């Protein structure tokens, strides 16, 4: 496309730009522009700030911004080359090792590329600059590899240790594999730890993260954590300020094969100890407990957070996913349709590459 076309419509138009013009042309304003009085300097504030501070328009304004960024980002990314072949790794402490090379100098740097491994011993730390995606801080005793490095999907494998990720890339673009689950970023900051057995713990500090193994999914918002174990996948997320008995009972429900009587006793503790904010945990249990126990979870959740129109007890008992998603909307933790969109896109990309 001739660059002059964007400024004075001279030269040839890119087919994608022309298509976008045709779609938006129906909305073109064709009347004379109104004349407004000069606004005093003290009243000039960013339009976005005003929209977000107006209670009834905040959701609509945010949705509009997200759509605009997505459209522009898609157009820009379609014209960009692939990301650089390597990320900058900076030594923070000790001597982190990139493949066979030890990064010794204070503040020393190296480049971490596709297929390469970064490892820290008990005395070393490092940080990774992910360019336009975000940053990752690597704690002592950590080993991770780069599995994918491109515009569509960036993927690491955390084999053991701890990382702190701060991600500002579009949702679903940054993924971390662990031996027991996959963490899919949805615009957030989080800490992910994997022990020697492959079991893990994900703690979200900003935004929220999707955590999955096969069809088993957990959604972890800020302030919540989720455990995971090999072959079993992610457990049920919970807020860290939940009672100790609530958290202990939940671990047993998720990862121990107790008798029916024992599981019933643990579920009783979870239901009795649940606070309104623990609706997050009960919502996840609706799709994990047997139908005989699901009714009890439904009844308790309905008291803490009444089901919205379109959600029935019968539908939830039979595992209606549409109803579950509607109820999620009442949690006030974001739109789950974002996860459905990005998780589907991400899964398709992974499948195509296999």
Q: What domains lie within the chain, and their CATH numbers?
A: 86-235 (2.60.120.1440), 243-354 (no CATH)
Q: How confident is the model at residue 42 (pLDDT cuts 50, 70, 90)?
A: very low
SS (H, E, C) the chain: CCCCHHHHCCCCCCHHHHHHHHHHHCCCCCCCCCCCCCCCHHHCCCHHHHHHHCHHHHHHHHHHHHHHHHHHHHHHHHHCCCCCCEEEEEEEECCCEECCEECCCCCCEEEEECCCEEECCCCCEEEEECCCCEEEEECCCCEEEEEEECCCCEEEEEEEEEEEEEECCCCCCEEEECCCCEEEECCCEEEEEECCCCCEEEEEEECEEEEEECCEEEEEECCEEEEEECCCEECCCEECCCCHHHHHHHHHHHHCCCCHHHHHHHHHHHHHHCCHHHHHHHHHHHCCCCHHHHHHHHHHHHHHCCCCCCCCHHHHHCCCHHHHHHHHHHHCCCCHHHHHHHHHHHHHHHHHHC
- Does 99 score more than 70 pLDDT? yes
> Percent of the chain beyond pLDDT 90?
59
pLDDT value at position 239? 97
336 vs 3, higher pLDDT: 336
- Does 23 score more than 80 pLDDT? no
- Does 45 score more than 80 pLDDT? no
pLDDT value at position 16? 61
- Does 290 score more than 60 pLDDT? yes
Residue-wise pLDDT tens digits, 248-289: 999 999 999 889 999 999 999 999 999 999 999 999 999 998
- Does 26 score more than 50 pLDDT? no
Q: Mean pLDDT score of the chain, rounded to an integer?
A: 81
- Does 308 score more than 50 pLDDT? yes
What is the reported pTM? 0.74
Mean pLDDT of 325-346: 77
Mean pLDDT of 105-109: 84
Q: Which of 78-92, 217-231, 277-291 has the lowest mean pLDDT?
A: 78-92
Q: Which of 3-7, 206-210, 214-218, 267-271 has the lowest mean pLDDT?
A: 3-7
- Does 46 score more than 70 pLDDT? no
Q: How confident is the model at residue 211 (pLDDT cuts 50, 70, 90)?
A: very high
pLDDT value at position 296? 96
- Does 28 score more than 50 pLDDT? yes
> Percent of the chain beyond pLDDT 70?
71
pLDDT value at position 246? 98
- Does 169 score more than 80 pLDDT? yes
- Does 83 score more than 60 pLDDT? no
- Does 43 score more than 50 pLDDT? no
């Amino acid at each position: 496309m001739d660059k002059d076309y964007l400024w004075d419509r001279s030269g040839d138009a890119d087919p994608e730009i022309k298509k976008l013009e045709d779609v938006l042309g129906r909305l073109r304003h064709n009347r004379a522009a109104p004349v407004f009085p000069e606004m005093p300097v003290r009243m000039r504030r960013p339009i976005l700030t005003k929209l977000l501070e107006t209670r009834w328009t905040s959701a609509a304004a945010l949705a509009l911004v997200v759509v605009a960024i997505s459209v522009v980002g898609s157009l820009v990314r379609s014209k960009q080359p692939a990301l650089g072949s390597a990320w900058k790794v900076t030594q923070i402490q000790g001597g982190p090792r990139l493949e066979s090379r030890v990064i010794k100098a204070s503040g020393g740097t190296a480049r971490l590329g596709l297929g390469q491994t970064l490892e820290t011993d008990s005395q070393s730390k490092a940080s990774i600059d992910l360019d336009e995606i975000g940053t990752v801080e690597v704690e002592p005793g950590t080993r991770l590899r780069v599995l994918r490095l491109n515009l569509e999907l960036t993927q690491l494998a955390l084999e053991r240790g701890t990382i702190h990720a701060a991600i500002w890339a579009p949702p679903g673009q940054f993924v971390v594999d662990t031996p027991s689950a996959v963490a899919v970023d949805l615009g957030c900051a989080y800490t992910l730890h994997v022990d020697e057995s492959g079991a893990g713990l994900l703690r979200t500090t900003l935004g929220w993260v999707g955590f999955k193994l096969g069809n088993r999914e957990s959604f972890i918002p800020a302030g919540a954590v989720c455990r995971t174990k090999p072959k079993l996948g992610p457990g049920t997320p919970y807020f860290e300020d939940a009672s100790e008995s609530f958290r202990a009972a939940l671990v047993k429900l998720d990862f121990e094969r107790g008798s029916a009587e024992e599981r019933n006793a643990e579920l009783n503790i979870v239901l009795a100890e649940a606070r309104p904010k623990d609706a997050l945990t009960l919502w996840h249990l609706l799709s994990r407990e047997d139908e005989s126990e699901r009714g009890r979870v439904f009844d308790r959740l309905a008291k803490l957070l009444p089901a919205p129109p379109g959600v029935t007890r019968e539908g939830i008992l039979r595992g209606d996913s549409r109803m579950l998603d509607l109820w999620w909307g009442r949690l006030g933790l974001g739109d789950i349709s974002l996860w459905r969109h990005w998780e589907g896109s991400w899964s398709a990309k992974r499948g195509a590459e296999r």
